[in-house]
């Protein structure tokens, strides 16, 4: 046999494809990673950054399960910031500015070090499907690779079209061709397809910018990182970013290109991301605003290439260039390349099972932008879950599904398969109803044991977590028992504008004050400082959160358990919803189409009312009797 047969073939080597290949291979599958260009593995197609609001939580969850994105981010970041520190810990979100070239290289080297991963550089143009099950892929030059499972992670390449003003040409990224053939194959198999749009801003030469005219944005002084492992360390030095603003003159110049804008003249049919609009869309929708914030972000340690975050555009390149030069600090800017919009095919994710396997074709999985999502982190998490479930499926193991109270990844996938999306889906903390439980600081506590049981997280990770939990328990008990006298703390409390105490008080009660942190206790007297210093900073932070928010956490856990009870009520595949006349017409239609496997899943489907859930609950109860 000229070409080997694989357990799993992953099509596409973006963030979803890399995590899918890495996870399946790490669990023991023989994997082929097929991509049109091996030089652009894990390419950061848009902004050179990882993490951010809710996205940082996802990245920590990937790492806790044993994925690679957190480690790669740590090894290649040039700046780290914890966003939303002024808010509660449920909102804290780590973000890293990355070195684009090193990020891609580090991911490729990580995959090359896996003996279970093979590579193939060529366009995949179709699938081989027999008796409702995928069993291979076809390449542009006519090769057929056999496999037990396929994971499609095609990103923006499926019939991709790039728009710059009135110019349109095929492409999945600037300088790279679109992927053709797969969409037609899937549609012929019965899949529903749609079009979406995204965009990217111009890149400019840092040597031509006046950074003195901009506001500097440093990283966190104490650094930070994403991975819970000891393989990476916080940054010792960081590169700053900068902030500047558009102005009314910039807006007036941009408006001169509106007639040639594919966004406004109907050329672009796909739906764009609501929460990351192009600059022309912003000045059109928010015409009352005379300026918009621009983040000036370096693309690496040494390169002079700058990412102009906030200036995504598909306007003609001459209009972009003229407008850029009217931004403060950009008066002499030289452009490396203009911004552009890209349209591409996606497949509504309601056609998927909770494992990301398609309902129509067995052992075929979708992950990333093919499911209508946007963002590296959302894509990577889907790739990880698809890789895990593809391995489990072909080895007749139980599916791996995360609940909404277990992980942001669970919220993401549950939203996609039960609610669908008609615009690029982006994760926010507001989408998670149990976000006080799904903090970035406790992702390892929530998920590392699961990753270890899967064979993804190493044993040393599991042991390290057990040690951390033991330290958290030990320090929490110490603070609960510790009594503090007024003379020990009143001077310190005064310095913090906190009310003094008149008699001995338990330390944990004092720590519940919002203005006090566990680090403040270290300043009160030497004994406490020495004792607290024995524990890692992350352990101290975890204990502080557990004490301060104890009542909120307990309340949220009870609420999550109430919802989880619905998840435990299974719905058999044999249930014929069309025969349940007490259900509303819309509920019968949606339930028949989406086939939820639990009552909890059914309750989150748009159009299924609480009354419909009550009907289902009574029916299922009668069936069990």
φ, ψ of residue 618 to 5 degrees: the values are: -65, -45
Report yes or no: 432 and 408 within 8 Å, Cβ to Cβ.
yes
Could you report the per-residue pLDDT of 119-161, keeping only the tens digit for each?
A: 999 999 999 999 999 999 999 999 999 999 999 999 999 999 9
| Of the candidate ranges 243-252, 310-319, 521-530, the one whose mean pLDDT is the lowest | 521-530
- Three-state DSSP state, 612: helix
pLDDT tens by residue, 428-461: 998 888 999 999 999 999 999 999 999 999 999 9
The tens digit of pLDDT for each residue in 514-526 reads 888 888 877 766 6
In contact, 41 and 111? CB cutoff 8 Å: yes
Q: What is the mean pLDDT of residues 235-248?
A: 96
The pLDDT, as a whole number, for residue 339 is 96
pLDDT higher than 80, residue 623:
no
Tell me: pLDDT of 1 over 70. Answer: no
List of residues 6+ apart from 549 with CB closer than 8 A: 88, 89, 436
Residue range 326-339: mean pLDDT, rounded: 97
Are 475 and 90 in contact by the 8 Å Cβ rule? The answer is no
| Average of per-residue pLDDT across 7-36 | 98
Task: Tell me the C-alpha distance between 56 and 327, whole Å.
Answer: 30
Question: Residues 361, 133: contact at Cβ < 8 Å?
Answer: yes
CB 97 within 8 A of CB 239: yes
Does residue 547 have a pLDDT over 90?
A: yes
Model confidence at 549: pLDDT above 80? yes
Query: What is the C-alpha to C-alpha distance for residues 145 and 34, in angstroms, rounded to an integer?
Result: 10
Share of the chain above pLDDT 90, in %: 74
How does the average pLDDT of the chain come out, rounded?
A: 93
The phi and psi torsions of 98 (rounded to 5 degrees) equal -115, 155
* Helix spans in 268-375 (H): 279-285, 317-324
pLDDT at 348 over 90: yes
Mean pLDDT of 358-386: 97
* Neighbouring residues of 435: CB distance < 8 A, sequence distance ≥ 6: 90, 91, 429
* Rounded Cα–Cα distance for residues 621 and 569 (Å): 9
Note the pLDDT of residue 44: 96
pLDDT at res. 264: 85
How do 144-152 and 6-11 pair as beta strands? Answer: parallel
Average pLDDT of the segment spanning 253-268: 89
Specify the pLDDT at position 625. 62
Question: What pLDDT is recorded for position 605?
Answer: 85
pLDDT at 566 over 90: no
User: How many Å is the Cα radius of gyration of the chain?
Assistant: 26
What does pTM read for this prediction? 0.93
Q: Is 232 helix (H, G, I), strand (E, B) or coil?
A: coil
Tell me what the mean pLDDT of segment 351-377 comes to. Answer: 97
| Nearest CA-CA partner of 68 in 125, 30, 119, 106 | 106
Average pLDDT of the residues in 16-45:
97
């Amino acid at each position: 046999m000229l070409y080997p047969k694989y357990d799993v073939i992953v099509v596409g080597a973006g963030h979803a494809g890399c995590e899918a290949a890495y996870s399946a291979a790490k669990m023991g599958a023989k994997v082929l990673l097929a991509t049109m260009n091996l030089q652009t593995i894990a390419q950061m197609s848009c902004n050179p950054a990882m993490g951010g609001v809710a996205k940082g939580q996802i990245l920590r969850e990937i790492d806790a399960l044993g994925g690679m994105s957190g480690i790669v981010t740590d090894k290649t970041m040039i700046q780290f910031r914890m966003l939303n520190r002024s808010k509660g810990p449920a909102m804290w979100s780590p973000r890293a500015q990355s070195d684009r070239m090193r990020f891609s290289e580090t991911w490729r080297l990580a995959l090359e070090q896996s003996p279970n991963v093979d590579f193939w550089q060529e366009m995949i143009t179709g699938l081989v499907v027999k008796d409702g099950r995928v069993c291979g892929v076809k390449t542009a030059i006519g090769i057929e690779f056999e496999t037990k499972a396929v994971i499609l992670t095609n990103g923006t390449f499926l019939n991709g079209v790039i728009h710059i003003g009135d110019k349109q040409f095929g492409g999945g990224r600037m300088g790279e061709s679109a992927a053709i053939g797969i969409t037609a194959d899937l549609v012929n198999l019965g899949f529903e397809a749609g079009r979406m749009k995204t965009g990217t801003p111009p890149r400019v030469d840092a040597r031509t910018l006046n950074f003195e005219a901009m506001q500097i944005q440093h990283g966190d002084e104490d650094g930070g990182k994403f991975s819970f492992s000891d393989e990476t360390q916080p940054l010792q030095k960081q590169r700053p970013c900068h902030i500047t603003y558009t102005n009314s003159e910039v807006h007036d110049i941009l408006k001169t290109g509106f007639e040639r804008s594919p966004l406004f003249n109907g050329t672009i049919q796909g739906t764009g991301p609501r929460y990351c609009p192009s600059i022309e869309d912003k000045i059109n929708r928010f015409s009352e605003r005379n300026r918009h914030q621009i983040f000036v972000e370096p693309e690496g340690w040494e390169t002079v290439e700058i990412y102009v975050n906030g200036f995504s555009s598909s306007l003609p390149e001459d209009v972009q260039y003229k407008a850029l030069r009217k931004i403060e600090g950009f008066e002499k800017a030289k452009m490396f390349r203009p911004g552009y919009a890209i349209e591409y095919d996606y497949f509504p994710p309601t056609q998927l099972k909770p494992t990301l396997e398609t309902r129509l074709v067995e052992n075929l999985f979708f992950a990333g932008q093919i499911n209508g999502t946007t963002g590296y982190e959302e894509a990577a998490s889907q790739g990880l879950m698809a890789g895990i479930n593809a391995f489990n499926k072909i080895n007749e193991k139980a599916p791996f599904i995360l609940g909404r109270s277990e992980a942001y990844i669970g919220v993401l996938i549950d939203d996609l398969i039960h609610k669908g999306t008609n615009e690029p889906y982006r994760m926010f903390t507001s989408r998670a109803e149990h976000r006080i439980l799904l903090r970035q600081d406790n992702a390892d506590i929530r998920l590392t044991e699961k990753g270890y049981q899967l064979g993804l997280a190493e044993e040393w990770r599991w042991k390290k977590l057990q040690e951390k939990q033991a330290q958290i328990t030990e320090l929490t008990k110490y603070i609960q028992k510790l009594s503090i006298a007024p003379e020990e703390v009143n001077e310190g409390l005064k310095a913090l504008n906190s009310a003094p105490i008149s008699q001995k008080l338990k330390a944990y009660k004092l720590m519940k004050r919002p203005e006090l942190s566990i680090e403040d206790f270290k300043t009160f007297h030497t004994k406490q400082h020495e004792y607290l210093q024995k524990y890692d900073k992350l352990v101290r932070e975890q204990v502080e959160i557990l004490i301060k928010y104890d009542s909120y956490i307990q309340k949220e856990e009870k609420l999550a358990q109430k919802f989880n009870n619905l998840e435990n009520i299974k719905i058999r595949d044999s249930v014929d919803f069309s025969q349940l006349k007490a259900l509303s017409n819309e509920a019968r239609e949606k339930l028949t189409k989406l086939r939820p496997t639990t009552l909890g899943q059914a309750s989150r489907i748009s159009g299924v009312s609480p009354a419909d859930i009550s009907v289902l609950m009574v029916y299922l109860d009668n069936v069990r009797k």
